[in-house]
Structure 1
Amino acid sequence: MAVNLSEPTNLLPVTGVRLGVAEAAIKKPGRNDLLLIELAEGSCVAGVFTRNAFAAAPVQLCRESLKATSAIRALLVNAGNANAATGSAGLEDARRTTAAVAAALGCAPQQVLPFSTGVIGQRLPLERMLAAVPKAAADLAAGAWAAAARTIMTTDTVSKGASRRVATSQGDVTVTGIAKGVGMIEPHMATMLAFVATDARLTPAATDAALRAAVDESFNCVTVDSDTSTNDSCVLCATAQVGTREIGIGDADYALVSAAIREVCIELAQCVVRDGEGATRFITIEVGGARDVAEARQVGYAIANSPLVKTAMFAGDANWGRIVMAIGKAGVEGLDPARVGVALDDVVLLEGGEPHPDYREERGAAIVARPEFTIRVGLGRGDAQARLWTCDFSYEYVKINAEYRT
């Protein structure tokens, strides 16, 4: 039911990355649900993670490992079980999976980062996962990005991936990423799970800066339902396989590589929204005339997360009063309604706080009947602006989440 979204094609291999998949029957049998990503020695890895206080066991271990070492050699990802709210037993389960990967690849357990997604509050089927790790290791291949994208899906209807190639002074650099996520999405950092790799020789500081800048303009600008997952994780791996000179933040090549990373992350973030659970509309929200970006996003999220706005959009109902309501409830101090404007694409609904004299209901209805459109808001307070992406709420969203554990 994804909105104008199809399976990714032509995902480019990244030198220094191999991927392998296996079936562990984590939630149900009959599909690959365990992904192993091996990184070349010397890779730099940076990560950003959920702000949810109930951070899942794998998120806790990732944070520990990234503080302890920069020499990450592998990522282990499972779908079907979040290993969240599982206490000390969940931490031990995650440690045992990383130890199994370390044994298979010949590295230290702290050089393996674990990631999980799926049902919260249940223990991992540990023995089945441990038995599947050697199978995933035996399956490692450089060109397996498409299979990897399918393996990490949960309620996703379409796998999500994107690639870019950019010419630098040291040669062509590739950036490829995959993501999963369709519900429980308002990240405050990333989407539920996203893994991006490049063969550029980035410094650790440049890797971290490129990731954070990309996330801020991509995954931090999407919402499906306002809920922040316990497992949100986004990782950038730079394998240092192109060129001989390190690329620092001030290097001319850094601008090229970081732009490609940002493009991949934006495409992945939009894929998440296009495949939002039960989505039938892909909605861009542009808020301008704000005093700062934070204020623009505050208003944008108030609109994007309003159930009344989202259900009206699902119905194809240009009930713009709900948009005005959401702007007014956003909590912007000193907002002057007489300076606010609202439009659907190029159809002006509200200007100077009053209904536009040329607006006709059928014009608005024609816009929201489309699978994609933009809600534009001007606050009349400054020059700052922000762009967010969201989707509608359909009957299918309720059905998917009502039946999530059955």
Structure 2
Amino acid sequence: MQKVNSKIQVLDNGGVTTPAGFKAAAVSAGIKNGRKEKKDVAILYSEIPAVAAGVYTTNAVQAAPILVTKQSLEQSGLLQAVVVNSGNANACTGQQGLLDAQAMQELTAKALGIDPNQIGVASTGVIGVLLPMTRIGAGIEEAANRLSPDGGADFAEAIMTTDLVKKEIAVSAEIDGKTVTIAGAAKGSGMIHPNMATMLGFITTDAKVEQAALQAALKQVTNKTFNRITVDGDTSTNDMVLLLANGMAGNDLLTPSHQDWPIFLDALEYVALHLAKAIARDGEGATRLIVAQVTGAQTEKDAEQAAKTIVGSSLVKTAVFGADANWGRLMMAIGRSGAYVDPNKVDIWIGDVQVAAEGMGLSYDEAAATRELEKDPVIFKVNLNVGSCSATAYGCDLTYEYVKINGSYRT
């Protein structure tokens, strides 16, 4: 157990089933090629209907599961389960894809004996291929029979595609004298860009939270975490983060006027940021996480734009991969970011080595700068010196392996 601060603690080996009342399971259904090589169908279940919130891709092309889940959440603001498959995105599949996503809801509802409109659906994988519904149905039935409070790790594994590592976390916080737990699992490795990021994220909590407040909190936290990561500049058709709060911790209803609301918000942001950074670090073929810290901007939006552009620049990313202290690439990225910049005021550091001041290069220790670029994470610090606002964004280096992975994604 690790303390974040006096109010929040990170729990050892925590995942989406750590909060009270949550269960999960995952099975191998052979979705991608008929061979049961990995877990690819998973269910997350709450013992009672949970207040829920969602944020979704900003891509104009949205997969059928996104449309179905949005509609369900809009009806009641409640979810009791989420069914997920990997290996097939069920995107660009027309009317049949929509019917298949609805069938996933209905099959899960029948297996669990709950309302199909309180079931979220998520899919990830290859675009433009119809779901193998016979395998999906068998997988759903098997997963429903295996639900367990110990199933969180299997759930986190089943949602992976090209991910190299599972991404999960749980934290606890004291609210109203009660121990409240917030946990999460996410997948994401390629097709990642800060427009809801390209990923699936599932966050659970046993806190009791007003639905409107929960939705506002998720949106606020997403903008500071999942929307500040990038791997390759591409925004997916299937991005979604769902947050379920079942209230089983026994705290009083949380709203922004509650005295412990800031604690809940901080804990939620910690979980989301941990998952977001894990996605950026696990970028396809990546070897190092990149952190861009921008200060001295006129507005927070300017700071965010500059930071995002730095971590999203292919030239910056390849310079990190090669450990090349080419600070001019950062200057280029800042200048095209859309943020207000006075080029004669910009200061730049690679780690602890200052390489530019007032927009011009300094005489610096090249070897020391190279050592900073060989660290993980690589930290770039930029002071625009035109205001008092700041923001941080996260990305990864761009390697030969990225091309290899994406050149053969379907095979």
Normalised by the length of structure 2, the TM-score is 0.94
Residue 64 of structure 2: aligned partner: 57
Residue 90 of structure 1: aligned partner: 97
Query: Could you list the per-position Cα deviations for residues 220-267 of structure 1 after superposition, in whole angstroms to 9, with x for gaps in the alignment?
Result: 111111111111000110011011531222112222222111111110
Q: Aligned AA for 2:374?
A: A
Residue 4 of structure 1: aligned partner: none
Q: Distance in 1 between matches of 2:285 and 2:38?
A: 22
Q: Aligned AA for 2:409?
A: Y
Query: Could you list the per-position Cα deviations for residues 60-92 of structure 1 after superposition, in whole angstroms to 9, with x for gaps in the alignment?
Result: 111111111223221000001111111111101
More deviation, 143-152/365-374: 365-374
Counterparts of residues 4-403 of structure 1 (less than 5 Å): 9-11=13-15, 13-28=18-33, 29-243=36-250, 245-333=252-340, 335-357=341-363, 359-403=364-408
Query: Could you list the per-position Cα deviations for residues 31-73 of structure 1 after superposition, in whole angstroms to 9, with x for gaps in the alignment?
Result: 2100111123241010000000001100011111111122322
Q: Aligned AA for 1:380?
A: N
Residue 191 of structure 1 deviates from its aligned partner by: 4.6
Cα-Cα RMSD? 1.4
**Unpaired runs of 5+ in structure 2?**
1-11
Secondary structure of the 2:79 match is coil
Normalised by the length of structure 1, the TM-score is 0.95
The 1:191–1:241 alpha-carbon spacing in structure 2 relative to 1, beyond 3 Å, is farther
**Unpaired runs of 5+ in structure 1?**
1-7
Q: Is the 8 A contact 1:156 1:182 kept in 2?
A: yes
Q: Distance in 2 between matches of 1:96 and 1:149?
A: 23
Q: Distance in 2 between matches of 1:370 and 1:209?
A: 36
The 1:244–1:298 alpha-carbon spacing in structure 2 relative to 1, beyond 3 Å, is closer
Q: Is the 8 A contact 2:31 2:87 kept in 1?
A: yes
Q: Distance in 2 between matches of 1:347 and 1:245?
A: 49
The 1:372–1:244 alpha-carbon spacing in structure 2 relative to 1, beyond 3 Å, is closer
Residue 365 of structure 1 deviates from its aligned partner by: 1.2
Secondary structure of the 1:225 match is coil
Q: Distance in 2 between matches of 1:9 and 1:396?
A: 30
Secondary structure of the 1:127 match is helix
Q: Aligned AA for 1:94?
A: A
More deviation, 185-194/46-55: 185-194
Q: Distance in 2 between matches of 1:222 and 1:244?
A: 33
Q: Aligned AA for 2:410?
A: R
Q: Distance in 1 between matches of 2:281 and 2:385?
A: 30
Query: Could you list the per-position Cα deviations for residues 81-107 of structure 1 after superposition, in whole angstroms to 9, with x for gaps in the alignment?
Result: 111111111101101111101111112
Secondary structure of the 1:255 match is helix
More deviation, 46-55/305-314: 305-314
